[in-house]
Copies of this chain bind each other. A is one copy, B any other.
Amino acid sequence: MRRNRSRNRRIAPGTSHRRLLLTIMQEAEKHLDAKELYRRASDKDASISLATVYRTLQLFKEQGVINEMHLGQARCYYEMKRSGEHQHLVCESCGQVIDFESPLVGKLVAEVQRKNDFCATNVELYLLGYCSKCKEGKSKPERPK
Question: Which A residues form the contact surface with B (CB < 8 A)?
Answer: 4, 62-64, 70, 72-73, 89, 91-92, 98, 100, 102, 104-105, 107-109, 111-113, 115-132, 135, 143-145
Contact = CB atoms under 8 A, between A and B. Distances in A.
B131 A127 contact: no
A2 to B, nearest CB: 13
Contacts of A102: 108, 111-112
Q: Which of A92, A125, A130 has the most CB of B within 10 A?
A: A125
Residue among A91, A102, A119, A129 with max Cβ neighbours from chain B (10 Å):
A119
A36 to B, nearest CB: 20
Contact of A127 (B98, B104, B112, B145): B112
B105 A89 contact: no
Residue among A62, A72, A102 with the highest chain B CB neighbour number at 10 A: A102
B89 A118 contact: yes
A81 to B, nearest CB: 10
B124 A112 contact: no
A129 B122 contact: yes
A42 to B, nearest CB: 26
